[in-house]
Structure 1
Amino acid sequence: MQPNAETFEAQRPRLLRLAYRMRGSRAEAEDIVQDAYLRWHKLDATEIDSPAAYLSRIVTRLCLDAMKSARAQRETYFGSWLPEPITEPEDDALRADNLTLTLMVALERLSPLERAAFLLHDVFETPVSEIAHTLNRDPEAVRQLASRARKHVQADRPRYLVDRDEGNRITHAFLAATRSGDIAALQSLLAQGVMMHSDGGGKVSAFPNVISGAANLLRLFAGLWRKHGANESLIKLIWNDGLPGYVSTLNGVLQTTTLEIEHGQISAIYRTRNPDKLARLPLSHWASTTLARPQ
């Protein structure tokens, strides 16, 4: 007897969240969940005790298989790698775990097994015995993997959730400063240790290395202003995976800019320009507003 399709559909949102958090790509997550769906219909339903546990196991293992080849690709990825943006409320189904973009970047530095153990244990609250079955490790090894991963990401975990009003206010102020070339105003917004990550994937121009420090970023934005002026069109203010930001075009190139904020200042800027990662933005639903050059 084949498993019930309705049973799978009830689990689909959770499986998509798991696959996205493992892979950082909605397209890959959807492909993996569809693969799991096809495998599900080849099973004998009488052999499945817990559909939720069984499907999580399938998806996790498919993600781990994909990560074996993807890891080599990531090692040769041009410049910074950032996860595909997920916007609110369009992608709220992927935001049910309340992780942030900052944590997704930190997860990228883990081994595949560490990432799986951390997500399953700390985020999806899977019993250790089930994780051990999924990863083919004993329970103590799973605890060690999760503990090691937790230590790696702890320093990168946001210290507090960004207040919505504060996030929107600082995003507006950042936009005003960068559009007008007001370096003094920008300086007041940036933390001393601010870092900027820019992901173009080798397909469009982006900064290949992380730029660190307020002084370096101020010089960078001053140079961008001299070169491009206000040739940036704002499409929409957004919240991307729990952090404030906006979607815009600069000289015709689509990009998202996401701001990490701590103690009222910007501690990190994440700019995604890789067109492959922006293809799913619902642009047709958003109106565009040109940021005119100040007189």
Structure 2
Amino acid sequence: MDDTALAERFEENRPRLRAVAMRMLGSVAEADDAVQEAWLRLSRTGDAEVDNLAAWLTTVIGRICLDMLRQRTARREDDYDTEPPTAEVTPEDEAMLADSVGLALLVVLDTLTPAERLAFVLHDLFAVSFEEIAPVVGRSPDATRQLASRARRRVRATPSAGSPADRRLVDAFIDASRGGDLGTLLTLLDPDVEMRIGPVSQRRGADVVARFFSGRAQAARPALLDGALGIAIVVGDGLKAALRVTTDGSRITVLEAITDPTQLAALDVELLKD
């Protein structure tokens, strides 16, 4: 097959390969690098000995991503930069990644070992058989099945970190609060929104809650609170308050403030990128 025909066949598989790489790596830039490497390997090999190009490419992209994840882990262990070098990622790239992968899944996948991540992503999300995955991770099919099973249990046991739409709501709420944008706050809050502060104090209604928060979120950060999407109020290195956020998918319906120092100390807080 000539180079043009080979390139055309690769382009037919590109969307699937990119989807696998994005779920494996959690980075648009790294996913694009992995897909490019897959093309280079195919162009060097050709397709003369490839019976099923789609399956071959899926295996290749899996190997590439596994190597990249292992290199990332090795850098952390050697006290190098925790973030791998990547090309500049635009806000549009980040939004696309969140929409295609899902915030909750990205968070959970980062807790898995590279082999667990590969087994889960290829089998559960892309229906690749354990027999095909096994050579990539260097395990037997039964051992590979156990890798995916462990990963699946962890995914199911992790609290929801919210949908991409929920994350956009939280980000927009923080921005509008910081800027004192009362009109935008009113569009983000359910008309009957409830704000809870401690066991007794409550505020109800979009107008009341919006006025309370207008101009008051200067130290607010999007965060995972015990694995669930919320807001952390961080001053210096200290967590001063936290807000659990409940939405209906389009508006915020409940804001539950946590201010008690004992409760704050017990929270597992992971700050998210603004």
Range class of TM-score, shorter chain: 0.5 to 0.7
2:23 to 15, 21, 34: 21
Percent of counterpart pairs with the same letter? 33
Query: Which segments of 5 or more consecutive residues in structure 2 lack a partner in the other structure?
Result: 183-188, 200-218, 257-268
Match of 2:179? 179
Match of 1:188? 195
Deviations 1:223-273 (A, max 9, x none): 99xxxxxxxxxxxxxxxxxxxxxxxxxxxxxxxxxx975674579885426
Structure-2-length-normalised TM-score:
0.59
Once residues 108 and 54 of structure 1 are traced to their aligned partners in structure 2, the CA distance between those partners, rounded to angstroms, is: 26
Query: Are the equivalent residues in 2 in contact too, given 1:60–1:116 (CA < 8 A)?
Result: yes
Match of 2:58? 56
Structure with the bigger RCO (C-alpha within 8 Å, sep 6+) is 1
Query: Which segments of 5 or more consecutive residues in structure 1 lack a partner in the other structure?
Result: 193-205, 225-258, 274-295
Cα distance change, pair 90–153 in 1 and its aligned pair in 2 (3 A): closer
Query: Are the equivalent residues in 2 in contact too, given 1:12–1:33 (CA < 8 A)?
Result: yes
Query: Are the equivalent residues in 2 in contact too, given 1:167–1:261 (CA < 8 A)?
Result: no
Give the secondary-structure state (helix, strand or coil) at the position aligned to 2:101: coil
2:48 to 39, 46, 55: 46
Query: Are the equivalent residues in 2 in contact too, given 1:20–1:29 (CA < 8 A)?
Result: yes
Q: Map of 1:117-196 to 2, 5 A cutoff?
A: 117-156=119-158, 158=160, 161=163, 172-180=172-180, 188=195
Q: Shift of the alpha carbon at 1:175? A: 3.2
Q: Shift of the alpha carbon at 1:188? A: 2.9
Once residues 139 and 122 of structure 1 are traced to their aligned partners in structure 2, the CA distance between those partners, rounded to angstroms, is: 15
Q: Shift of the alpha carbon at 1:55? A: 0.5
Once residues 212 and 72 of structure 1 are traced to their aligned partners in structure 2, the CA distance between those partners, rounded to angstroms, is: 28
Cα distance change, pair 100–85 in 1 and its aligned pair in 2 (3 A): farther
Cα distance change, pair 171–25 in 1 and its aligned pair in 2 (3 A): closer
Cα distance change, pair 91–139 in 1 and its aligned pair in 2 (3 A): same
Q: Shift of the alpha carbon at 1:48? A: 0.8
Match of 1:32? 34
Query: Are the equivalent residues in 1 in contact too, given 2:47–2:53 (CA < 8 A)?
Result: no
Once residues 83 and 138 of structure 2 are traced to their aligned partners in structure 1, the CA distance between those partners, rounded to angstroms, is: 32
Once residues 15 and 137 of structure 1 are traced to their aligned partners in structure 2, the CA distance between those partners, rounded to angstroms, is: 22
Q: Shift of the alpha carbon at 1:135? A: 2.5
Structure-1-length-normalised TM-score:
0.56
2:232 to 196, 217, 225: 217
Query: Are the equivalent residues in 1 in contact too, given 2:120–2:148 (CA < 8 A)?
Result: yes
Query: Are the equivalent residues in 2 in contact too, given 1:191–1:265 (CA < 8 A)?
Result: no
Once residues 190 and 7 of structure 1 are traced to their aligned partners in structure 2, the CA distance between those partners, rounded to angstroms, is: 58
Once residues 104 and 161 of structure 2 are traced to their aligned partners in structure 1, the CA distance between those partners, rounded to angstroms, is: 11
Give the secondary-structure state (helix, strand or coil) at the position aligned to 1:126: coil
Alignment size in residue pairs: 214
Q: Map of 1:195-206 to 2, 5 A cutoff?
A: none
